[in-house]
Structure 1
């Protein structure tokens, strides 16, 4: 659903650019509260995974394909503010290196895929979390519903923008019906991928799924349905329980990187070559004629292939691997910088700590 240059006029493109810039600025501040010591590398991995899975177009019928948008997945795993930054890194990488999504439409794409999807998914997931019983099944239901609804909402938002500043004289009713219909089907694929990914992480490290903390039972909770064990009789001395050792996220990170590379470097070759939902609707409704050639169309990685490599399988694989590496490095670096800005040095006399009071003299 990458909007190319030329679909929307300059005022709307500038307006969505301002919205995207404001969203990124707000998210930079909000992500400081979401990124813990272990979360920055995982957030970078989420950005790389979204990039990789967006290469895997899946058929939705009638010569049309779809791909993951990723806003719901990122919001559930790392939080809404960090999710906006993840999608912004992905879309910026795609626009600058792979000529996917217009440069003047970058703000539009961040708004549609990195803001609308995140806001909708975050609201739906946490709304369901308040009414569903606690458990992994409820987390899966909430993830599926949030991801499914985020996609047609993004399509409806595009239709609204086109109604304001579209560059082709087309029937808005037909565009709305076509965009909503095809993206409802794409939403099913989005929901399936999101639910499977969230479920896999919940199975091994539920503590790393940020949005599911209110839905997944604590590990020490009694599951038998009986009343909790009564507290022991009076104890002479209260002893604080020893803190549980914190598990390293490194095994999950390494496994995630391996899966991401396999998706981008190998599975992507078998992705559907049919146009995605937006491309199909634009072609059918006469909007595609307004598309402008990408300013970076001669990039060495344009169209997700490496220039001057004739073997298509190798070309796509190398481009995918390069995209994963670049997205992972850029995302992790940004999130590490954001997290470090939240670190507050321990108070010392030189940093404004209050001096100890002197003993009273008699």
Structure 2
């Protein structure tokens, strides 16, 4: 039997004060995301944001094996941030988390603020910052873009897991030592991050191959993305 190992905290894992604290953190972060998203959303990105939210929601339903008896699933923060930006990406992830909590009991309502903080805010921003740092390599071709997306997703997963550990350290009520939680969560989520990185790299490069203008992180790069070599002019076109 495979046990899912993901970031969704359940009710009662954190004490009420810690749950309330990170509910406020999530509310503040989402307020900033809404203000920023107003500048990022346009006729191109609005439909893309809907597709990203739907894709992440569907992908989170699919588990992949990590260790014997343990499986993981896509978190999607880096993927969303690379395609639609960190602000819109955070809102997409929040919508997914709210639907999962309300309709599928995947993550407790009292822990929703902590889950949003970890997956929609910390992970999304961390992954996007990595992508920005590697953007000059990503525009050199498909391989560079894939590596950037892979590393951004890996960091996204580990950063979100670290948020989980910090919150548990502040007010955890799971009856397990902080060292035990940190070892288990971080160790497993490094492996989950590898799977997340592969999925993110494949998805982002697939979108970029068709519509590189829809990949948010590539906007403002020093030069356009080069995915294909320039076509060779035919003799009649070159005047030969």
Q: TM-score, normalised by structure 2?
A: 0.88
1:157 paired residue number: 163
Pairwise CA RMSD = 1.9
Gaps of 5+ in 2: 1-6, 232-240
1:141 paired residue number: 147
Shift of 1:172: 1.4
Equivalent position to 1:84, from 72, 90, 93? 90
Equivalent position to 1:53, from 53, 59, 63? 59
What SS does structure 2 have at the residue aligned with 1:60?
strand
1:35 paired residue number: 41
Q: Deviations over 1:43-91 (max 9, x none)?
A: 0111011000000111111200000000000000000000010001101
1:322-333 matches, within 5 Å, as none
Of Structure 1 and Structure 2, which has the larger fraction of its residues in helix?
Answer: 2
What SS does structure 2 have at the residue aligned with 1:170?
coil
Shift of 1:42: 1.2
1:137-286 matches, within 5 Å, as 137-213=143-219, 214=221, 217=224
Return 170-179 or 43-52, whichever deviates more.
170-179
1:67 paired residue number: 73
Equivalent position to 1:6, from 12, 18, 32? 12
Shift of 1:212: 2.1
Query: Do the aligned residues in 2 keep the contact of 1:135 with 1:217 (CA within 8 Å)?
Result: no
Q: Deviations over 1:137-170 (max 9, x none)?
A: 2221111100011112211111111111011343
2:84 is the alignment partner of 1:98: no
Distance in 2 between the 1:218 and 1:143 partners? 14
1:277-316 matches, within 5 Å, as none
Aligned residues: 223
Equivalent position to 2:126, from 112, 115, 120? 120
1:206 and 1:133, CA in 2 relative to 1: closer, same or farther beyond 3 A?
closer
1:23 and 1:47, CA in 2 relative to 1: closer, same or farther beyond 3 A?
same
Query: Do the aligned residues in 1 keep the contact of 2:138 with 2:146 (CA within 8 Å)?
Result: no
Query: Do the aligned residues in 1 keep the contact of 2:53 with 2:96 (CA within 8 Å)?
Result: yes
1:218 and 1:171, CA in 2 relative to 1: closer, same or farther beyond 3 A?
closer
Distance in 1 between the 2:77 and 2:111 partners? 18
What SS does structure 2 have at the residue aligned with 1:3?
coil
2:29 is the alignment partner of 1:23: yes
Larger Rg: 1
Shift of 1:216: 6.6
Distance in 1 between the 2:89 and 2:174 partners? 33
What SS does structure 2 have at the residue aligned with 1:77?
helix
